[in-house]
Structure 1
């Protein structure tokens, strides 16, 4: 059964918001390289329960908090989202060394992410296979 494995928090001024969370919760934040400004967040040791996340600047299709669900086959789950009345908001994207990611909306318009783990995933690109 797929589980929520990641969260994202949008921030107009990440440089201001990130220290807030770091000071209160002790989170460790790292700015990642890539085509989108993104800060990865480690919320605690991997040996303890919980999930890690990230910060991003709001964009034209979302601001707020997003939960990401890990699945075994991203293309299969994107088809399921469409079949059951949801919307695929972004194309399947490659995240180097991590895997693949896409964002969707449920039948009420709530945004969520889907990810497929593949440590062998190559450079930043959008897949041509997913509309």
Structure 2
């Protein structure tokens, strides 16, 4: 089963939107030191339920994109296509994170797929079940 592990909020002015979520919801916002402008959003304390995400410039049609973990990006992309979905961007490597692609379901809702790199962490339940 693939689990949602990250969200992205798309914005015309991501820096001001990052400030909004910091002020309105108390999120911790940090600028990512990566190849694109990106703000990391920590939405709660470690060990509590929920997911963290990011805020980025709007390059896609919808305002929020959820990213789902997969053990094999290539296999999952083939399943998405076979089920009637489409791949809109990628797969691409995100340095220090893993392989990523943006897809859409048959009704046009976008979502991300992430195959973590060897130094990235898998979701805790999957990491525990893979080690047994």
What's the TM-score, normalizing by structure 2? Answer: 0.84
**Other-structure match for 2:129:** none
**Other-structure match for 1:84:** 83
CA RMSD of aligned residues (A): 1.5
**Other-structure match for 2:5:** 5
**Other-structure match for 2:124:** none
Deviation at 1:16, TM superposition (A): 1.4
Structure 1 residue ranges, 4+ long, deviating more than 2 angstroms after superposition = 33-36
Q: Which runs of 5+ in 1 are unaligned?
A: 122-131
CA distance in 2, matches of 1:46, 1:119: 22
Deviation at 1:110, TM superposition (A): 0.7
CA distance in 1, matches of 2:61, 2:31: 20
Q: Which runs of 5+ in 2 are unaligned?
A: 121-132
CA distance in 1, matches of 2:24, 2:118: 32
**Other-structure match for 1:57:** 57
**Other-structure match for 1:73:** 72
The secondary structure found in structure 2 opposite 1:49 is: coil
Q: Give 1 or 2: higher helix fraction.
A: 2
CA distance in 1, matches of 2:90, 2:23: 35
What's the TM-score, normalizing by structure 1? Answer: 0.84
